[in-house]
Structure 1
Amino acid sequence: MRLKKILLSLLGFIACNSFWAQQTAPLKIAVFAPVYLDTVFNGSNYTLGNNNLPRNILPGLDFYNGVQLAIDSLNAEGQSLTVLFYDSKSNTQSVKQILETESLQDVSMIIAAFNNRNDIKPLADFALKKQIPLISMTYPNDGGVKANPYFALVNSTLTTHVEGIFKYLQKNYPTEPILYLKRSGALEDMIEGLFQDLNKKTPALPLKIRIVSANDSTNIASFNEVMDSTKTNIIFCGSLNENFGINLVKTTAANKSYKSILIGMPTWDAIKDLGKGTEIIYSTPYNYTRTDKLAQSIIQIYRSKVSGRPSDMVFKGFEAMYHFGKLLIKHRNNIATQLSDNSFKLFNEFDFVPVKTNGESIPAYLENKRIYFVKKTDGVIKSIQ
């Protein structure tokens, strides 16, 4: 019932198109998230009864809840902002129609939780036209955006992760043999190509990589002949496929005669309890450890509202609204060039770098290049760097 109340409250916010951090607000932020309200409401009538909410609603709803918690914090500080919230999956009003409304014409920033590549460009084009930042908080894809220095990707692209993992291996295991496990697939071929290219062009000592093919059910023990039982083996998982990664970690943990460290992809961050029985390291652009005072406060407030544990989308919504909202207040019209200012850091540092393609002078977009490496032993986080 609490979720139903939150949805009813959200419906009211969207109906009036705005809520306020203060009643007088010269600066305006528009937030877009995929809530799919039209699938649970007929007009203002809730249609699901006591049924569970569809899974596709929950990420956007959690993002909204995080935004709302941040607005409460900004209110408590006496900050002045107007915040507009829009359901990007509305059946009654397209994103294009929303962007034509009068209330959006003087907006100073857009924050978006995308879940589809095709949703990106309309908002990015609007941001470019208005010369205001579009903060893409969740989706690691540029959506085909070109020549747009106002489009900022928080969730780093696969290329950035591969580059980061390569540098991590060079720093920590510069002379160790590295067993590179890959499966068949176009994406896996792309990852391998990037990795091999980095290894060829590096001015430092190239990594000692041995690439071997595997499938989703391969037992790591089948590669014992190329592993060393007298030392720690470094194994890199060159695939985003979750089943492949889970099987690799499980069979490595079961291979007790060989000690190994597994280096994985950012998809490992979403796999619960991954790493039991062995040591894993993976990259992520988000550092939500949930152990500090602020995280614990968010957890408690969310639990009191929803009787549940907040997902990372709650933290992403909170951080997006609070961090970038404070930056907008600080920098105002210069905000587009100040997105890497970490004065109001909550959980993550951001390092937005212009991404240029084909030698063009205008950046295709801005991308957060700050990624973290999480080390887990027996499924428990031991360090983040």
Structure 2
Amino acid sequence: MQKKSAYLIVLLIFSFATAFSQDSAEPKRLKIALFTPLYLDSAFDQSLNYKQGKIFPKYINAGLEFYEGAEMAADSLDKEGMPVDLFVFDTRSTSSGVNELVKTGALNNTDLIIGHVNANEAKQLATFATSNHIPFINANYPNDAGVTNNPDFIVLNSTLYTHCAGIYKFIQKNYQLAPVVMFRRKGAQEDRLKGYFEEIAKTASSVPLKIKYVTLADNFTVEEVKKYLDENLTTVAIAGSLDINFANNLAKSLASLYT
């Protein structure tokens, strides 16, 4: 994960730096703002003493690896004669979150923003980026966060819609005649996923899938799942939720029926 992040960030910054340097006779030190969840307030006290003893919490890993990748990228660019000033911001800081940094103008002179962010942070940074014409690369969150018509906002990962389209096409190609059931729970994200599949069906290149949508409670039972499956046919089951616990419980329920 760390190496992939490093290579990816190197490519991103290198491409941007190359394009930027073409407009200037002399290389300019690019100011890059990096947003990542480091949880420093949770890890250290006010005297900078580590609070977790000999334990290193797993929830810190993703943000830390992203930061390390950025450092590797900055070092690589410096060796290539493209120096950058990397300003790192902890998105889990209790005193200088994204909202505070935007309000105080701390990002106004930034040339590029790269973020390992959540939906709310992505939206805040995207709004700031388009208002100030600063490119913002959303490096991890697979969604547009409701932001549209923003030429300065780059979503690096495939969006949820793209994932849904890929799943739909795979099923359509390999299980076109099989019954398809999407098990879902109540929620706005689940409604969005259902809407994506319904939208994709309208533009399907061949006969659209006949998907049955089933809403389950969070404490659903194996028997509730079983009644929507035909023992004589291969049924394709889709976990129509971003809730990992729901998906895991559904997978376990399905596995118990066929073992």
- TM-score, normalisation: structure 2: 0.70
**Aligned residue in 2 for 1:68:** 71
Q: Distance in 2 between matches of 1:210 and 1:183?
A: 11
8 Å CA contact 1:33, 1:86 repeated in 2:
yes
1:153 aligned to 133, 155, 158, which one?
155
Task: Give the 3 Å change call, closer, same or farther, for CA 93–214 of structure 1 in structure 2.
Answer: closer
Q: Is it true that 1:218 corresponds to 2:222 in the alignment?
A: yes
Q: Per chain length, whose mean CA-contact separation is higher, i.e. which structure has more relative contact order (CA < 8 Å, sep 6+)?
A: 1
1:88 aligned to 82, 86, 91, which one?
91
Task: Give the 3 Å change call, closer, same or farther, for CA 204–46 of structure 1 in structure 2.
Answer: same
Give the residue type in structure 1 aligned to 2:98.
V
For residues 1-385 of structure 1, the aligned pairs below 5 Å read 25-48=28-51, 50-54=53-57, 56-99=59-102, 104-115=107-118, 117-170=119-172, 172-173=173-174, 175-186=176-187, 187-212=189-214, 214=216, 216-218=220-222, 222-223=226-227, 226-228=230-232, 232-256=234-258
What's the CA shift string for 1:234-256, capped at 9, x where partnerless?
33332333233223333433444
Q: Distance in 1 between matches of 2:103 and 2:229?
A: 64
Give the residue type in structure 2 aligned to 1:93.
S
**Aligned residue in 1 for 2:11:** none
- TM-score, normalisation: structure 1: 0.50
**Which consecutive residues of structure 2, in runs of 5 or more, have no partner in the other structure?**
1-26
Q: Distance in 2 between matches of 1:143 and 1:221?
A: 32
Deviation at 1:158, TM superposition (A): 2.8
Identity over the aligned pairs, expressed in percent?
Answer: 35
Deviation at 1:109, TM superposition (A): 1.1
Task: Give the 3 Å change call, closer, same or farther, for CA 242–219 of structure 1 in structure 2.
Answer: farther
Task: Give the 3 Å change call, closer, same or farther, for CA 47–225 of structure 1 in structure 2.
Answer: closer
Tell me which stretches of 4 or more aligned residues in structure 1 moved more than 6 Å.
100-103
RMSD: 3.4
Secondary structure of 2:33 counterpart? strand
8 Å CA contact 1:174, 1:205 repeated in 2:
no
Higher mean displacement: 146-155 or 207-216: 207-216
What's the CA shift string for 1:187-207, capped at 9, x where partnerless?
434433432343244342122
8 Å CA contact 1:34, 1:57 repeated in 2:
yes
**Which consecutive residues of structure 1, in runs of 5 or more, have no partner in the other structure?**
1-23, 258-385
Q: Distance in 2 between matches of 1:244 and 1:64?
A: 31
Secondary structure of 2:168 counterpart? helix
Deviation at 1:138, TM superposition (A): 1.8
Q: Distance in 2 between matches of 1:97 and 1:256?
A: 53
Q: How many residues align?
A: 230
